[in-house]
Structure 1
């Protein structure tokens, strides 16, 4: 589900919108490390949470 994510991509966690915008730091299998503006560095279990890609061009 999150297989397309690569370091540098901007994402949001729909289950925690208060975390704000996040930048993917790494993805190893289903473990995704994201640095969120309001919540700091979080390790996400990609089997449980589908992150939303943020398109800054729109």
Structure 2
């Protein structure tokens, strides 16, 4: 049986996060979170679309 439940992330717009594999990107603020698609504006990388089903972003404070 295939799990067809929609992906739910604990990340919400406005939260500050850090990418666990790319700490050099700096802290990032979540711009949008729709299903597994998380758009984050990082200090040193700009806007990046993250697949939250594949990357577990670190939520800051």
TM-score over 0.5 for the pair: yes
SS in 1 for 2:24: helix
CA–CA distance in 1 between the matches of 2:8 and 2:48?
15
Counterpart contact for 1:2–1:51, Cα < 8 Å: no
What TM-score results when the alignment is normalised by the length of structure 1?
Answer: 0.88
Q: Which residue of 2 aligns with 1:6?
A: 12
Which segments of structure 1 move beyond 3 Å, counting only runs of 4 or more? Answer: none
CA RMSD, Structure 1 to Structure 2 (Å):
1.5
Counterpart contact for 1:21–1:36, Cα < 8 Å: yes
The residue correspondences of 1:1-58 to structure 2 (distance < 5 A) are: 3-55=9-61
Q: How many residues align structurally?
A: 55
Gaps of 5+ in 1: none
Rg larger in structure: 2
Gaps of 5+ in 2: 1-6
What TM-score results when the alignment is normalised by the length of structure 2?
Answer: 0.84
